[in-house]
Amino acid sequence: TMNLQSRPALLLASAFFLCLWARRRLRPPSGSPPGPFAWPLVGNVLQLGRLPHLTFCKMAQRYGDVFQLRLGRRAVVVLNGEAAIRQALVRQGEQFAGRPDFPSFRLVSGGRSMAFGRYSELWRAQRRLAHASLRAFSTASGRSLQLLQQHVAAEARELIRGFLRRGAGGAYFDPCPLFTVANANVICALCFGQRYSHDDGEFRALLGRNDKFGQTVGAGSLVDVLPWLQAFPNPVRSVFRDFQALNQELHDFVRAKVAQHRRTYDPRLTRDISDAVIGKIEQGGGGAQEGLSRDYVEGTMTDIFGAGQDTTSTALCWVLLLLLKHPHLQRQLQAELDRVVGRDRLPTAEDRGCLPYLEAFIYETLRFSSFVPVTIPHATTADVVLQGFRIPKDTVVFVNQWSVNHDRHKWKDPHLFDPGRFLDGEQKLDRDLTCSVMIFSMGKRRCIGDHLSKLQIFLFTAILLHQCTFEANPAERLTMDCIHGLALKPLPFTVSVKMRDTPRSCQAGDAQ
């Protein structure tokens, strides 16, 4: 029999040789990007932590802006910093425009998703069509702009009424669920010509499930990289099954709206984005000739509705939290609005160029929060060389946008919230600097709704600040800690709202 004292030594020796074997077996091929040692079975999953974008920044300090890790058996290349990301997504855009073959991605938008779909000629046709349809309803001119402004102003008035009801008598309340419904109603009106009451429980429940979507997709779902987690009950499998259900529910919601539009479609009248997409795919608009079948209408509309309403409502939650944290900035912004807009009308998109401090505040909110810290995972479409490193076809690629927005070489004291950094010596908006804020990605997978989203954020912020003053709850500590998913959301906070001294002719809280 074995000497009892020799057993620990044997176990240590066995563990040592197992590590050596794993290191040799899992060692990346010559010319691959460097990276941390990956453990058998799980790879580097356990090292990512609660906020992977911060882990990636620390790893980049050690391994460089292009490094490699493993999630399960998958090799993942992580891109950090503006130079590496721009080189990959813009200059070598086609080679980095793919999506991984993750099971979760195939569930989105009935398998006809543009945001999550594989890169192909069909995908390019769908994106061109969606971009044209969206642009027709979000360009900064003419009837489309007036329509958007009417929708936002109506929702802002409804939002303020909701704020005043919940904050009656100086009560503090959580504003973010109201932002979610208000913003979703703008997208719903643009997409389907319809809005919902803030008291509609079914609509609120549909929107409330967005968090589970973001938690599954953010930086690669664990079920996607560790498929064996599907085999037995565990929290990851539960989240994945919720993800399946909510995708089906959202897609069913959109399909019902599209079916209604097909029944009432009139080629002489484009009522909303659904009509525009139906016209392009089904009514001789060129989509059918490019191979897009009818079900691409529902897939495209699910993408536009799903992506549009969640991103902008998250941005507005950060805007309000930062206004509460910096009350002196709230007063400065209100002074600028009063000087430029006056008190007899509401702010409009035409005022945007004359409100540089408000624009600077919004861009600093986007930069500072970096609320989409890591883009939806990319994949390489061919073998490619990036900064001297060889990356094989079908490699998963994570793009760390946070690293661009918090780069100490680009931004002075990036950890400080300072809207003034976006103003030049004449106190005008520095357009070159605003282009360096990365929140909507870049290149072939850049978000097609970025202009619409920024315009909505501007209009909501301008109208709310023009009409209301927001005060933090003194019993709460305002924190920048957040809930991680595809988007970073602030931890719940409460606020009190007071109407500013406004002539009745333009009070947003009144019915019009």
pLDDT 10s digits, 188-217: 888 888 887 777 776 777 776 665 565 555
**Res. 103 pLDDT band, cuts 50 70 90:** confident
Q: Mean pLDDT lowest for which of 55-59, 248-252, 255-259, 327-331? A: 248-252
If we measure between CA atoms, which residue out of 436, 497, 446, 447 comes closest to residue 470?
Answer: 497
* Residue 447 marked ligand-binding: yes
Extract the runs of DSSP E, i.e. beta strands, from 52-157: 66-71, 74-80
Which letter does DSSP use for residue 89 in this model? Answer: I
All domains of the chain in start order, with CATH? 102-371+434-506 (1.10.630.10)
- In whole numbers, what is the pLDDT of the chain averaged over residues? 85
Which letter does DSSP use for residue 43 in this model? Answer: B
What are φ and ψ of residue 485, in 5° steps?
-160, -150
**Res. 17 pLDDT band, cuts 50 70 90:** very low
Residue 23, CA distances (Å) to 59, 67, 97, 232, 454 in order? 19, 17, 31, 29, 47
**Res. 49 pLDDT band, cuts 50 70 90:** confident
Q: Which two tokens stand for residue 75?
A: 């090799």
pLDDT tens track for 359-395? 999 999 999 999 999 998 999 999 999 999 999 999 9
Contacts of residue 178, defined as CB under 8 A and 6 or more positions apart, other chains included, come to 159, 162, 163, 166, 198
Q: Mean pLDDT lowest for which of 143-157, 318-332, 360-374? A: 143-157
Percent of the chain at pLDDT exceeding 90: 50
Amino acid at 393: K
Q: Mean pLDDT lowest for which of 178-182, 322-326, 498-502? A: 498-502
Contacts of residue 475, defined as CB under 8 A and 6 or more positions apart, other chains included, come to 172
Measured distance CA(75)–CA(72) in Å, rounded: 8
What is the pTM for the complete model shown?
0.88
CB of 70 closer than 8 Å to CB of 43: yes
**Per-residue confidence (pLDDT) for residue 288, from 0 to 100:** 60
